[in-house]
Structure 1
Amino acid sequence: MYELRGVSKRYTRGKDTINALDGIDLTIGDGDRLVIQGPTGGGKSTLLQMLGGLDKPTAGSIELDGTDLARLSEAKLTKVRSENIGFVFQSFNLIPTLTAQENVETALVPLGVKVKDRRERAAEALKSVGLGERLGHLPAEMSGGQQQRVAIARALVKQPKVLLADEPTGNLDESMRDEIMEVLETMWKEYGLTFIMVTHDSSLAKKAPRVATIRKGKITVKENAGA
């Protein structure tokens, strides 16, 4: 479970100080599905990065299962990310010279998984997202939707506790968007993940049980009845 207390993030640009986040309090329970919305540049991705230990707040605490990520060393943060947190990004972030299977395997290398086990687990993860026939394909040989499926498989192959997605359908057309969201929602249910997604797409937000909106550094959270 995440517990955020008094989380602020300030940036300095020249003589100006920008409060991307200003004293945010937020609780995200195990297995929750939360969508984060707000205007461009309003702190959505900043919050997601801090939940993933990729950035630290200027003030406040971000606890994941009782451990304050804001106070961990970079080495310990790397360990937490490697073991507990899966990431899916808008731009896929696949390595172009590696096959789909090899891209997925990269998530298991920091965990010390043996080569044979890495290959087997990567293949199974790709099959679970409908890419069992594409193990040996390079990213350039796949559609955008297929590349995002590879990225999802890479995020989930290590069996994380948390899945963080930053505009995962932002580069996809409407039909592919729906396919990817179906995959993500299926994985959320099957694996019992805590699933947190940043999106500008209001139609996706309406389907989430909880929606957090960030405006001018402040956050409001509402429940979606029937979602």
Structure 2
Amino acid sequence: MYQLRGVTKRYSRGKKTVDALAGVDLTIEDGGRLVIQGPTGGGKSTLLQMLGGLDRPTRGSVEFDGVDLAQLPEARLTKVRAESIGFVFQSFNLIPTLTAQENVETALVPLGLKGAARRERAAEALGSVGLGERLGHVPGELSGGQQQRVAIARALVKRPKVLLADEPTGNLDESMRDEIMELLEGLWKEHGLTFIMVTHDSSIARRAPRLATIRKGRVTITENAAA
């Protein structure tokens, strides 16, 4: 699925140059589950952006199914993201004036699906996250946990190969955090996704079979046989 070789991402901060990632080598198997953890500013979100084709490395290669995302023209990279990669963020990123169903449908527009097909797929996706009765509600009429479920449905409606989640439980209380994690873990198994998540929550990290810890741009992998 993913093969990263020598991935370095360098930023300029005033007169200083900072390596958010410093020569990262990483393999992620098809259908695998990986949690990324580390201190603030350590490179977690930068690594996730590389995996999602949202940013390009200064040096190195990010191969996805044998294709180097770092070298793709922007139009092809946009197509890969639209077809193969679903994103879930801490802040939900829902459009406040659209209903839950319409928010989910937005992920299908780049795929060229017509209105009826989009509506059917969106309703199915919302049903799979327990919101089949909330299709017509706008985000302001939903709880934080329900909004995150809409965001998860939006990520999954295009039937991606990969689900990338950046602090998906960061805005939720403990009980809702556990509900959302159980949902994500269940969907990972059900759909055979490759699931990669950034979190600061150690209790979540301990549930993952594989943990990537980033410090000063370098990655250490820990296997958790008990997960």
Give the 3-state SS of the residue equivalent to 1:92 in structure 2.
coil
Q: Deviations over 1:78-107 (max 9, x none)?
A: 000000000000000000010000000000
Identical counterparts, % of pairs: 81
Q: CA deviation at 1:55?
A: 0.4
Give the 3-state SS of the residue equivalent to 2:107 in structure 1.
coil
Partner of 1:28 in structure 2? Answer: 28
Q: CA deviation at 1:14?
A: 1.2
Partner of 1:127 in structure 2? Answer: 127
Give the 3-state SS of the residue equivalent to 2:9 in structure 1.
strand
Q: How does 1:114-193 map to 2 (within 5 A)?
A: 114-193=114-193
RMSD value, Cα = 0.4
**Residues paired across the two proteins, number:** 227
Partner of 1:203 in structure 2? Answer: 203
Q: CA deviation at 1:73?
A: 1.1
Give the Cα–Cα distance (whole angstroms) in 1 for the partners of residues 156 and 15 of structure 2. 43
Q: CA deviation at 1:74?
A: 1.1
Q: Does 1:104 align with 2:83?
A: no
Q: Which amino acid aligns with 2:176?
A: M
Give the Cα–Cα distance (whole angstroms) in 2 for the partners of residues 204 and 41 of structure 1. 20
Give the Cα–Cα distance (whole angstroms) in 1 for the partners of residues 54 and 216 of structure 2. 22
Give the 3-state SS of the residue equivalent to 2:190 in structure 1.
helix
Partner of 2:84 in structure 1? Answer: 84
Partner of 2:39 in structure 1? Answer: 39
Q: CA deviation at 1:160?
A: 0.1
* Unaligned stretches of 5+ residues in structure 1: none
Give the Cα–Cα distance (whole angstroms) in 2 for the partners of residues 41 and 190 of structure 1. 33
Give the 3-state SS of the residue equivalent to 1:135 in structure 2.
coil
Give the Cα–Cα distance (whole angstroms) in 1 for the partners of residues 40 and 217 of structure 2. 12
Give the Cα–Cα distance (whole angstroms) in 1 for the partners of residues 151 and 207 of structure 2. 22
Q: Deviations over 1:33-54 (max 9, x none)?
A: 0000000011000000110000
Q: CA deviation at 1:148?
A: 0.2
Q: CA deviation at 1:225?
A: 1.8
Q: Provide TM-score, normalisation by structure 1.
A: 0.99
Q: Deviations over 1:120-177 (max 9, x none)?
A: 0000000000000100000000000000000000000000000000000000000000
Partner of 1:3 in structure 2? Answer: 3
Which runs of 4 or more aligned residues in structure 1 lie more than 2 Å from their structure 2 counterparts after TM superposition? Answer: none
Give the 3-state SS of the residue equivalent to 1:107 in structure 2.
helix
Give the Cα–Cα distance (whole angstroms) in 2 for the partners of residues 91 and 216 of structure 1. 26
Give the 3-state SS of the residue equivalent to 1:106 in structure 2.
helix
Q: Does 1:216 align with 2:220?
A: no
Q: Does 1:14 align with 2:14?
A: yes
Give the Cα–Cα distance (whole angstroms) in 1 for the partners of residues 4 and 15 of structure 2. 29
